[in-house]
Amino acid sequence: MIVLISKHLKNADGAIWEIKCAKEEGIPILGLYMKGCGILDTPYELNNIKKVTWTWAVIASFVN
C-alpha cells in the first residue's frame, strides 16, 4: 500500500481506516510525502512505517 501524506491526511477518516486495516493484514506500506508536507503532517497510524519524499524511483523500488 502506498500512502500519500498530505496536509489533510490526519483528518481523512477513511484513509486512516484503510491504513489500520493494511497494518492488521500485514500488507507492506510506504508513506510518500507530497510536496510541502513533512513529519508534522504524518498521522500516528504511520509510526514505524517507512516514509520518504515522492520519487518514481522510490515507488518502483517498493513495488518491485
Q: Which domain holds residue 11?
A: 2-63
Q: Of 16-20, 46-50, 51-55, where does mean pLDDT reach its minimum?
A: 51-55
Above 90 in pLDDT, residue 41?
yes
For 33, the enclosing helix (H) or strand (E) is strand 30-33
- Structural domains of the chain, count: 1
The sign one gets for the Cα dihedral 8, 10, 15, 19 is positive
Above 90 in pLDDT, residue 10?
yes
For 1, 3, 40, 56, the CA distances from 16, given in Å and listed in that order, are 12, 10, 16, 24
Confidence (pLDDT) at 40: 93
Percent of residues, the chain, with pLDDT higher than 70: 100
Grid cell at residue 52: 520518504
Confidence (pLDDT) at 3: 96
20 half-sphere exposure, CB direction, 13 A CA radius: 9
pLDDT band per the 50, 70, 90 thresholds, residue 63: confident
Confidence (pLDDT) at 58: 87
